[in-house]
């Protein structure tokens, strides 16, 4: 039966190969398949470039972040009754920080020496090794695995406003700033403008 099945397959293949119409169709299909494979590789590379451009977020420096906070706080503070016009200055404790995935290996080794059962001496040695987790991009380049970014920490806020000498206005401004930035009231100063 195997030989009979092979003969039928060979005869079918021979029939397709001997017929000019079928050969032309097979060749055209192969050329179209090769062209599609080539085009899919071309579009795949363009999509990767577009995805990289879209995924790369603009980084914000501490000064830009402080400027954004000043604008938002000025808008909020001038809406409080009795404040009048206001100027706000925000200072930052540190810049934007990026956190990357790491692997940490620690090993501890302890030895105990006893001499004649009277005196014991313990010695402990520890070591730690920290490495960043590296990944490969589609283009073959290597980079550390990004986990998250930590926003800058607000060091202090100074508000200079027309109603800065009124204790009720000072309290309202301090409450608004401490709530908006999640900082303590000791970091907020409200002063009357000239």
- Note the pLDDT tens digit of each residue in 26-36: 888 888 888 88
- Note the pLDDT tens digit of each residue in 49-102: 444 433 444 466 778 888 888 999 999 999 999 999 999 999 888 777 777 777
The answer to whether residue 193 scores a pLDDT higher than 70 is yes
Q: 10: which 2 tokens?
A: 């060979």
Percent over 70 (pLDDT), the chain: 76
Q: What is the pTM of this model?
A: 0.49
Query: pLDDT value at position 117?
Result: 61
């Amino acid at each position: 039966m195997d030989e009979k099945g092979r003969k039928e397959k060979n005869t079918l293949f021979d029939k397709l190969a001997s017929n000019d119409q079928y050969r032309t169709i097979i060749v055209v299909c192969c050329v179209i398949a090769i062209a599609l494979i080539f085009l899919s590789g071309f579009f795949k590379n363009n999509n990767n470039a577009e995805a990289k451009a879209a995924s790369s977020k603009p980084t914000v420096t501490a000064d830009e972040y402080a400027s954004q906070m000043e604008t938002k706080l000025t808008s909020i503070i001038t809406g409080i009754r009795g404040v009048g016009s206001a100027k706000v200055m925000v200072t930052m404790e540190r810049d934007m920080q990026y956190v990357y995935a790491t692997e940490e290996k620690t090993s501890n080794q302890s030895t105990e020496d006893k001499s004649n059962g009277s005196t014991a001496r313990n010695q402990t040695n520890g070591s730690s090794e920290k490495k960043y987790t590296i990944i490969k991009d589609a283009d073959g380049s290597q980079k550390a695995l990004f986990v998250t970014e930590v926003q800058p920490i607000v060091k202090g806020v100074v508000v200079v406003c027309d109603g800065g000498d009124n204790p009720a206005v000072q309290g309202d401004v301090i409450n608004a700033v401490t709530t908006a930035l999640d900082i303590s009231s000791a970091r907020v100063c409200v002063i009357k403008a000239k």
